[in-house]
Amino acid sequence: MRHFGHLAPEVRNGLFHREPAEFGVDSPARTLAVALGATLYSPATRPALARDVVKQAGQGVVSMVLCLEDSIADGEVAEAEENLVRQFAELAAAPADRVPLLFVRVRRPGQITDLMRRFGPARRLLSGFVLPKFTEDRGLPFLEALAEAEAAHGQRLFAMPVLESPELLHLETRTETLGGIARAVTKYRDRVLALRLGVTDFCSAYGLRRAPDMTAYDVQLVASVIADVVNVLGRADGSGFTVTGPVWEYFRQHQRMFKPQLRRSPFAGPAEALRSALIEHDMDGLLREIELDRANGLQGKTCIHPSHVAPVHALSVVSHEEFGDAQDILRSVDEGGGVLRSAYTNKMNEVKPHRAWAERILLRAEVFGVAREDVGFVELLGASVPTVTARAGGAGQAGREGVAF
């Protein structure tokens, strides 16, 4: 599979200086962690789940989480497990390139070993498990169960712990909780693909909910946790992990209090209709949050509606300017460092301080591609206009397309 593989070759050729590379379930973990992109969640109770998975893969989704936890009622768990087993058997007959990276979000450690047994040969489609409300004490049994299932079936499995517990949010327990999480995930480093942030649960602890005019970073309680998680667990010195962006909860028009957050100039001309559609369906807030995710050290994003996928992926493509800067910086590393003027003559590239940034840019360029010099996020979004606008316009049917926590 590869990002933007659902677009026609001639469309990709017009967008990319370097097209996204192919990757698969056997790719290195470092590659897959970045390639996750917009990870679409869906409740495991959906009766047409297998068909939905194939459909979403055909429209650009490369990673999905099938949820047995918060997205379904407590009394539906047994039914949802049975449905998952049936749907995996159906998916096993689908072409390999029409099945994205699949993860199951479980409630308890025993579900990991049980589901792997019940999936039978179809378990080959599973990339791993999402572990809820992760702390050291609660998380280690999940990681031990994953290691047990991996050994029993000879299959590589990844874990994606969700950081969402009150202990992590509360100031008096945050440092200790972060230290414990760090110990747990470091012990199983080879199997921890990414850490996911449960911002909805953070807000719940204080009875908060951000409006569509605001990002997670406008809620200071949440922003402080994100900063501390990246500080401890997202370092670029080799000890860190990929930390993914929080969920965006909105997918249809709401009454606005503040001005739209998209400037007119990038959308001048034919793209003005795209700007109007994005604003109409609260996508301007999502776009701003994606940019703030990147600025704060996060990659990818949890998504609860298909209309959110294209914006996340469009803004993940490396610009021609970023790519040139990153290449120049890394070429100069062996020369002992120093300062370079950007080829675009608009910034300073300092070789040693910017090295880690450059390495991350080239990894993202590998999986998301590099845009042509005259192509920006507007053109990349525009290539998916039917997907963005049609899906957002039909968002009232989100119960059939996605899942809200």
Residue by residue, DSSP assigns 262-309 as S-SGGG-GGGHHHHHHHHHTTHHHHHHHHHHHHHTT--SEEESSGGGH
b/e burial code for range 301-335 (CB count within 10 A of at least 16 → b): bbbbbbbbbbbbbbbbbbbbbbbbbbbbbbebeee
* Distance from chain centroid for Cα 104: 15
pTM value is 0.89
Distance CA 247, CA 276 (A): 23
- Give the residue from 163, 162, 170 showing the smallest Cα distance to 206: 170
**Per-residue model confidence (pLDDT) at position 346:** 86
Angle between helices 77-91 and 49-58 (to 10 degrees): 50
What's the CA gap between 195 and 160, in Å, rounded? 5
Average pLDDT, rounded, for the chain: 89
Secondary structure percentages of the chain, helix, strand, coil, to 5 = 55, 10, 35
Confidence at residue 340, expressed as pLDDT on a 0 to 100 scale: 85
C-beta of residue 131 within 8 angstroms of C-beta of residue 159: yes
* 104/85 Cα distance (integer angstroms): 11
142 pLDDT above the threshold of 80: yes
Residue type, 104: V
Closest CA to 194 of 137, 136, 245: 245
Residue 262 or residue 317, greater confidence: 317
Average pLDDT of the residues in 271-291? 71
Could you tell me how far CA 107 lies from the centroid of its own chain? 21
309 token code pair = 């996928």
Q: Is pLDDT of 24 > 80? A: yes
Choose between 36 and 281: higher pLDDT: 36
Please write the tens of the pLDDT for every residue from 99-136.
999 999 999 999 999 999 999 999 999 999 999 999 99
Q: Tell me the average pLDDT across 233-249.
A: 95
Mean pLDDT of 216-241: 96
CA distance linking residue 103 with residue 187, whole number of Å: 21
pLDDT at residue 348 tops 80 = yes
Tell me, what amino acid is at 402?
G
383-394 residue pLDDT tens: 875 544 444 444
Band the pLDDT of 258: cuts 50, 70, 90: low
Helix or strand run (H / E) with residue 243: strand 243-244
- Does position 360 have pLDDT exceeding 70, yes or no? yes
Is 209 or 394 the better-scoring residue by pLDDT?
209
| Whole-angstrom distance, CA of residue 378 vs CA of residue 358 | 24
pLDDT bucket at 31, cuts 50 / 70 / 90: very high
Name all domains of the chain by residue range, CATH numbers in brackets.
9-317+383-401 (3.20.20.60), 321-368 (no CATH)
User: Could you tell me the pLDDT band of residue 320, with boundaries at 50, 70 and 90?
Assistant: very high
CA distances from 5 to 50, 56, 311 (A): 20, 12, 16
Q: Are 178 and 228 in contact (CB under 8 A)?
A: yes
